[in-house]
Structure formats: structure tokens, C-alpha cells
């Protein structure tokens, strides 16, 4: 696969460029930045042939098969629409767009053009989450009663930019982390949250955006979900718990980019540590995307998955703003 990077971003440099190069004969052919100087220095630093400052320049390269969009969130929609119009497959960062209507338009445009469109929700690629899902599917915990998600972390200083002070760029912990939690819960329970209640706060980092949020979601099966996201918590560690009629899965340190963590299954028979694969999450997502482009299977998280995680985040934001319970609107 020959990739074009739309966005000279941290996530591309820390994870995605390596992931692209690790799959088959994956090549990163060009990178786009809004600044020509930054495009050039980013290309040099990462050994990318071309750094460009004009989107059409990148999209008109017939050698580029697919683009990876990792600009700030307000740019995803126009850049994805342009890429689709140019016939490129799209792997887009979360949240897909600034609102559900735009996200739906992106996914539909790709579908009409016969192009693969995927969302970069990494957590469902983790060996830990695949093992949790397998245990649920194998009936190890019986009927699921509830899920608790602990995703309150400390935003590293090098990421304390637009996320904490720019609502116009899609800043705030709700667009940043609630979307991942929504995708992970949907992945495990195979159902879509129906209704949410929430509160949010600025607890030390957020300027004009929330940096912390707690919410409760009602699932169609009757299961309840409780989530906590934050940018300001230095020490709690992350976690994901699924409680059922016959057992509980208690996983620690699994809401992360790295293939780490511990999973304990507790049932009437006692306590058991569940083993899991320690593969790279992003490499798996890229490999499944490339397979989908080659006509084999579907991406790990599709465009529709990205629409749905954004719809949950929108409902959480509205519930926190209004103080009322909000039905999740998936846009039909």
C-alpha cells in the first residue's frame, strides 16, 4: 500500500508511520502539512519522499492508494471528502468529524465511490480486548449486567495544545476519549448505547473545554455502562470491567496504546488470569485496512463504527450541557 499522510501529526510519528511500513510492502509516499516548512522537516525526519502544503498536490498523485487523516478534528471532514473525490481509500482518525451529520456524509461518499473507509479506533485491536471479547462470547461470565470503564489519564505535556484550549479544533476530553470508550463498549457488547446521562468538568487543564467527564449509558439489553474520562489524573491507571451473572472480568491498564495490561476472570470456580497476544494495536488496524482494500474482510473499525462512537460522544456532551438524559441519535 502506498500511503499519503494528511497531517504532520504526533500520532503518525509515534505509531502510524511504523505501522504502515510494517505491513506488506507498505510505503509512506507523502505528507501534508499546512506549513510547507513543517511538511519538509517532517518528511526529512521520517524519511518520507515528499512533504507538501497543498492537499490537491498530494491527492493528485496517482501512486497514492490510501490516505491516513490525522489532522485536528475540524479538518477531517473536508479532507476526507476531497480524498474520496480523488478516489483514495481513507483511514481517518477519531472523532471522524465535528458532528454526526458530517461523519455520515463521509461514510456514504466513500461507500458510493466503492472505497474503503475506516476509523482508527485502536483499542478493539488490542490482544487484551480481543481476549476479553472472547471470554464474553464463550459465556464465561454469563449474561452481561454492567460495564465500568476507567479512562482517566494525564495528558502528556507534548499533547497539551488544541485538546485543552480549542473547541473549534475539536478539543475536550469528550471528543478525544469518550469516542474510544464508546467504540470499545460497542465492540464488546455488540449493541449500541441507547440513552446517556453525564456530567463534565474542567479540573485543571481545560480552558474553554471540559477535561473530565463521567457518564452512565443504558444499553438495549438492559446492561448499564459507567465511564470516566479525564486529562488530569496522574495516578489511577486505566481499567475495563465487565460484570455478568456468572462472573466478572477485571482488566487493568488496558485502555492504552501499548499492548500491555492484566486481565483477571473471577467466577464461582475462583480467579484466573487470562493470557493475551502482545501484538502492536496500530499494525493490526493497518493490516486489516490493507486486507479490506485488497477485497479481503472488513477494517477493524469501519466508518459506521466511527459514526456511532461520535454519536455517543455527542449525546454525552449534550447530557453534560443540559443536565438531562439524552437519547443517542445515530442519524438513521
Question: Residues in the site for ligand NDP, rule: CB under 6 A?
Answer: 7-11, 33-35, 38, 70-73, 93-94, 120, 122, 159, 161, 176, 257
Is-contact 4 67, C-beta < 8 A?
A: yes
User: Which residue, 72 or 248, is less far from ligand NDP as judged by CB?
Assistant: 72
User: Which residue, 33 or 248, is less far from ligand NDP as judged by CB?
Assistant: 33
- Minimum Å distance from CB 197 to ligand NDP? 25
**Which distant-in-sequence residues (6+ apart) come within 8 Å of 16 by Cβ?**
5, 68, 70, 120, 282, 286
User: Which residue, 76 or 133, is less far from ligand NDP as judged by CB?
Assistant: 76
- Minimum Å distance from CB 171 to ligand NDP? 10
**Which distant-in-sequence residues (6+ apart) come within 8 Å of 138 by Cβ?**
none
User: Which residue, 120 or 248, is less far from ligand NDP as judged by CB?
Assistant: 120
User: Which residue, 70 or 248, is less far from ligand NDP as judged by CB?
Assistant: 70
- Minimum Å distance from CB 216 to ligand NDP? 24
Block residue for cell numbers 490482544: 127
* Grid cell listed for 162: 488544541
Q: What is the CA radius of gyration of the chain?
A: 20
Q: Which residues pair with 68 in a beta bridge?
A: 5, 91
Block residue for cell numbers 480523488: 86
User: Which residue, 75 or 228, is less far from ligand NDP as judged by CB?
Assistant: 75
Is-contact 145 223, C-beta < 8 A?
A: yes
Cα–Cα nearest to 196, from 319, 46, 18, 13: 319
- Minimum Å distance from CB 196 to ligand NDP? 20
- Minimum Å distance from CB 264 to ligand NDP? 25
- Minimum Å distance from CB 92 to ligand NDP? 8
Element (H, E) at 247: strand 247-252
Amino acid at each position: 500500500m502506498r500511503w499519503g499522510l494528511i497531517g504532520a501529526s504526533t500520532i503518525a510519528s509515534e505509531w502510524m508511520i511504523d505501522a504502515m511500513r510494517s505491513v506488506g510492502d507498505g510505503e509512506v509516499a507523502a505528507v501534508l502539512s499546512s506549513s510547507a516548512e513543517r511538511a519538509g522537516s517532517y518528511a526529512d525526519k521520517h524519511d518520507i519522499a515528499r512533504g507538501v502544503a497543498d492537499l490537491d498536490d498530494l491527492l493528485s498523485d496517482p501512486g497514492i492508494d490510501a490516505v491516513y487523516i490525522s489532522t485536528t478534528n475540524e479538518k477531517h471532514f473536508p479532507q476526507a471528502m476531497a480524498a474520496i473525490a480523488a478516489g483514495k481509500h481513507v483511514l481517518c482518525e477519531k472523532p471522524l468529524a465535528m458532528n454526526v451529520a458530517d461523519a455520515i456524509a463521509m461514510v456514504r461518499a466513500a461507500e458510493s465511490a466503492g472505497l474503503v473507509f475506516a476509523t482508527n479506533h485502536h483499542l478493539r485491536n488490542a490482544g487484551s480486548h480481543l481476549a476479553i471479547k472472547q471470554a464474553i462470547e464463550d459465556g464465561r461470565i454469563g449474561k452481561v449486567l454492567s460495564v465500568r470503564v476507567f479512562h482517566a489519564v494525564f495528558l502528556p505535556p507534548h499533547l497539551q495544545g488544541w485538546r485543552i484550549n480549542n473547541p473549534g479544533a475539536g478539543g475536550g476530553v469528550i471528543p478525544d476519549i469518550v469516542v474510544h470508550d464508546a467504540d470499545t463498549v460497542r465492540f464488546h457488547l455488540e449493541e449500541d448505547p441507547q440513552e446517556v446521562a453525564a456530567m463534565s468538568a474542567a479540573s485543571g487543564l481545560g480552558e474553554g473545554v471540559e477535561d473530565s467527564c463521567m457518564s452512565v449509558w443504558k444499553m438495549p439489553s438492559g446492561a448499564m455502562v459507567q465511564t470516566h474520562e479525564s486529562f488530569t489524573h496522574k495516578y489511577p491507571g486505566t481499567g475495563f470491567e465487565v460484570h455478568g451473572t456468572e462472573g466478572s472480568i477485571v482488566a487493568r491498564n488496558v485502555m492504552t496504546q501499548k499492548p500491555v495490561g492484566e486481565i483477571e476472570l473471577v467466577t464461582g470456580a475462583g480467579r484466573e488470569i487470562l493470557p493475551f497476544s502482545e501484538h502492536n494495536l496500530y499494525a493490526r488496524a493497518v493490516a486489516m485496512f490493507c486486507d479490506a482494500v485488497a477485497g479481503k474482510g472488513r477494517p477493524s473499525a469501519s466508518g459506521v463504527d466511527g459514526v456511532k462512537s461520535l454519536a455517543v460522544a455527542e449525546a454525552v456532551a449534550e447530557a453534560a450541557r443540559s443536565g438531562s438524559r439524552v437519547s443517542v441519535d445515530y442519524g438513521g
